[in-house]
Amino acid sequence: MPETILITGAGGCIGAWAVKLAREEGVPVVAFDMSPDKKRLELLYDNPEDANTVLWETGDIADAARVGEVFAKHRPQTVLHLAALQVPFCKESPANGARANVLGTINVFEAARKNGARNIAYASSVAASAMGREQWLETLYGAYKICNEQTARVYWKDWKVPSIGIRPSVVYGPARDQGMSAAPTNAMLAAILQKPFTVPFRGPAGYVYAAEAAAAFLRAAQKENPEGANVFDLNGEQKNTEDIVEMIRARAPGASIRCEGDPLPFPSDMSDAPLRNHIGNYPRPPSLAEGIQMTMDFFTRRKKEGRLTVIPAKAGIHTEPAEKQNPPRAKITANLKQINPPPISDGGGWGGATQ
């Protein structure tokens, strides 16, 4: 019988994809999220009512008693921990960021240890790769993720709790709608809805399709005979954001999509090979161009079904006059630095781990 997996941050982007993919594989899933809102999971399903068949527990990841209660009730053999607050939220409230991202992760590891879970996969971030490197932007979010990685090392050393941390770069695709690095996906959505959109950064980044990220996390959680506290990069395909914009325009002629500003201040050239060597292969699009096509085809289908009729303001789709849609580059750069955006969390929204 397949092992039960507990997925925290199930309401986020990667979390929603992980729930859907695991269920398609016949894996028993227990979803855990602060909110009962399943809007991202509903969007992914052709029949949104399928989301209501998921075993869904709610609670605060920083509430040790509640986390322990869920573990004791369901006794998951494997854990996928994605719940987190993203970069802007950590900067706005450092204490709340630490409470969710540091204390919450400790609660998951402790509950897993006490209830006999055999393996934990958890979301770190490319923001962790920037810490201690002067050419990149250091953030509280990145600091919290480094703390998570060190916590995992101690849980292996002291109690032999195995884990695999994954540092995703920019996650894109259906259900990615929160965080600065969601802008490329929101640009794809805007193109389908025939709305103007400006991505507030340029330059290179690693782009990971959302379903690919979720599949990698699931493979990590399900790894047989895990040992140690390993951490790996998940970079996807490196590409300049300007090229992403051109790919979107090519697939939606006439779309008013552009990009301005500085590059994302995080490394973009890491290798996925060590992760694949450790956990085995996992599905991915043949190319970034194919992933963009898949995303835009998905949005086109949902538009025809009338399921993209409401666009949250946070999606960033511009409806202002043209002169306001494209503020001077200096202003965009200042905004980017102000909120310190790292690349995905739904984790943190999508699932909890995206910026």
8-12, 150-154, 284-288: least confidently modelled range: 284-288
Report whether pLDDT(87) > 90.
no
Secondary element (H or E) of residue 316? none
Report whether pLDDT(354) > 70.
no
Among 242, 234, 269, smallest CA distance to 354 is for 234
pLDDT tens profile 56-76 = 999 999 999 999 999 999 999
Query: Could you tell me the pLDDT band of residue 145, with boundaries at 50, 70 and 90?
Result: very high
Report whether pLDDT(351) > 80.
no
* pLDDT at residue 77, as a whole number: 98
pLDDT tens profile 11-28 = 999 999 999 999 999 999
pLDDT tens profile 171-205 = 999 999 988 799 999 999 999 999 999 999 999 99
> Would you kindly state where each structural domain of the chain is located, as residue ranges?
5-353
Among 307, 327, 326, 320, smallest CA distance to 40 is for 307
Report d(CA 227, CA 207) in Å as an integer. Answer: 29
DSSP letter (8 states) at residue 62: T
Residue matched to tokens 């920037």: 130
CB 316 within 8 A of CB 309: no
Among 47, 1, 43, 53, smallest CA distance to 23 is for 53
DSSP three-state, residue 338: helix
Report whether pLDDT(153) > 80.
yes
Name the CATH superfamily, with its identifier, for domain 5-353.
NAD(P)-binding Rossmann-like Domain (3.40.50.720)
Report d(CA 80, CA 98) in Å as an integer. Answer: 19
Among 87, 141, 73, 80, smallest CA distance to 108 is for 80
Query: Could you tell me the pLDDT band of residue 135, with boundaries at 50, 70 and 90?
Result: confident
Report d(CA 255, CA 275) in Å as an integer. Answer: 37
**pLDDT above 90 coverage of the chain, percent:** 79
DSSP letter (8 states) at residue 350: T
DSSP bridge partners of 352? 346, 347
pLDDT tens profile 249-284 = 999 999 999 999 999 989 999 999 999 999 999 998
Both tokens of 99, joined, read 């409470």
Report whether pLDDT(43) > 50.
yes
Q: What's this model's pTM, rounded to 2 decimal places?
A: 0.88
